[in-house]
Amino acid sequence: MEKYLYFRKDSTLANDDDPANGSVMYPLSAFQGLVVGDSDTAGAVTGASGRCSLFFKPMKKAFAAEGDAGDDHLDVVVLDCGDFTAKDIMMSLAEAVNEPIARDNGFIVVFDAVTVILLIAILQEYML
């Protein structure tokens, strides 16, 4: 059974279905990696402190102009990691994806602005 990573950027519940800032879910198999800093879809990373970028295989293919790498572009989710270190975020994500499916039904909330849930905060409370 596949696991899924869930993100909701908008803190207003009525905007949950907004295509730019509402809920989005990726299958774990689409996850490509995580780096510290802000990133764009072409993979250019800036050294933004306290932020990390998660890369996923794109949900839809973009048609590219001549000379553009189009299909090489990934979907990016940028998280504000607050006071947590990049290692904290990486370890928390690894722990969550390796939990038995029976515990979370394959649905992993990485960030939810409505309920103000960040995966690492959940795991730290769980481990206390």
Q: Over 80: is that where the pLDDT of 119 sits? A: no
Instruction: Decide which of 120 and 124 is more confident.
Output: 120
Average pLDDT over residues 37-65: 75
Q: In this predicted structure, what is the pLDDT of residue 120?
A: 57
Q: Are 111 and 25 in contact (CB under 8 A)?
A: no
Least confident of 8-12, 23-27, 46-50: 46-50
Task: List Cβ neighbours of 104 (8 Å cut-off, separation of 6 or more).
Answer: 3, 96
Q: Residue 128 — very low, low, confident or very high, per pLDDT cuts 50/70/90? A: very low
Whether the pLDDT of residue 111 is over 80: the answer is yes
The stretch 81-92 carries a mean pLDDT of 78
